[in-house]
Amino acid sequence: MKISILIIPLGIATLVLADGDSTTSVFEVPLVRNPTYRGDFQAQMQKMRNRYGSPETIAAAKKGVGLVPVTSPAFDTEYYGPVKIGTPGQTFNMNFDTGSADIWLASSTCSTTTCKSHRRFNSSSSTTFRLDPAKRRFRIEYGDGSYANGPIGTDMVNVGGIQIRQTIGLATNESADFEVSKMDGMFGLAFSSYESVPGVKTFMTNAIAKKAVALPVVSAYLPSLRRSGGKGGHYLFGAIDSTKFHGNLTYVPVTVKGYWQVTVQDVLVSGQSLNSSYQGIVDTGTTLVILDDKTTAAVHSKIKGAYFDKQEQGWVVPCSLSKAQTGSVGFRLAGRVFEVPMADIAWEPVGKGKGKLGGEICYSGVQSIDSPVWILGDVFIKNNYCVFDQSAIPSVGIAPLQ
Ligand X SMILES: *[C@@H]1O[C@H](CO)[C@@H](O)[C@H](O)[C@H]1NC(C)=O
Q: Which residues bind ligand X (CB under 6 A)?
A: 43, 46, 108, 122, 124-125, 147, 149, 173, 247-248, 273-275
Specify whether the CB–CB gap between 287 and 7 falls below 8 A: yes
Helix (H) or strand (E) holding 47: helix 41-50
Going by C-alpha positions, the residue among 342, 343, 329 that lies closest to residue 376 is 329
Q: Give the span between the Cα atoms of 102 and 393, in whole angstroms.
A: 22
The residues pairing with 93 across neighbouring beta strands, listed in sequence order, are 82
Q: Determine if the peptide bond prior to 88 is cis (ω within 30°).
A: yes
Q: Give the span between the Cα atoms of 259 and 210, in whole angstroms.
A: 23
Pick between residue 122 and residue 263 the one whose CB is nearest to ligand X: 122
Shortest gap between Cβ of 147 and ligand X (angstroms)? 5
Of the listed 102, 155, 241, 283, which one is catalytic? 283
Shortest gap between Cβ of 225 and ligand X (angstroms)? 28
Pick between residue 147 and residue 251 the one whose CB is nearest to ligand X: 147
Q: How many other β-carbons are positioned within 10 Å of the β-carbon of residue 298?
A: 17
Shortest gap between Cβ of 293 and ligand X (angstroms)? 16
Q: Give the span between the Cα atoms of 232 and 263, in whole angstroms.
A: 29
Secondary structure class of 4 (helix, strand, coil): helix
Pick between residue 225 and residue 393 the one whose CB is nearest to ligand X: 393
Please confirm, yes or no, whether 97 is among the known catalytic residues: yes
Pick between residue 4 and residue 301 the one whose CB is nearest to ligand X: 301
Please confirm, yes or no, whether 283 is among the known catalytic residues: yes
Shortest gap between Cβ of 176 and ligand X (angstroms)? 11
Task: Write the CB contacts of 59 (distance below 8 Å, at least 6 apart in sequence).
Answer: none
Pick between residue 58 and residue 268 the one whose CB is nearest to ligand X: 268
Shortest gap between Cβ of 381 and ligand X (angstroms)? 21
Going by C-alpha positions, the residue among 16, 358, 361 that lies closest to residue 173 is 16
List active site positions: 97, 283
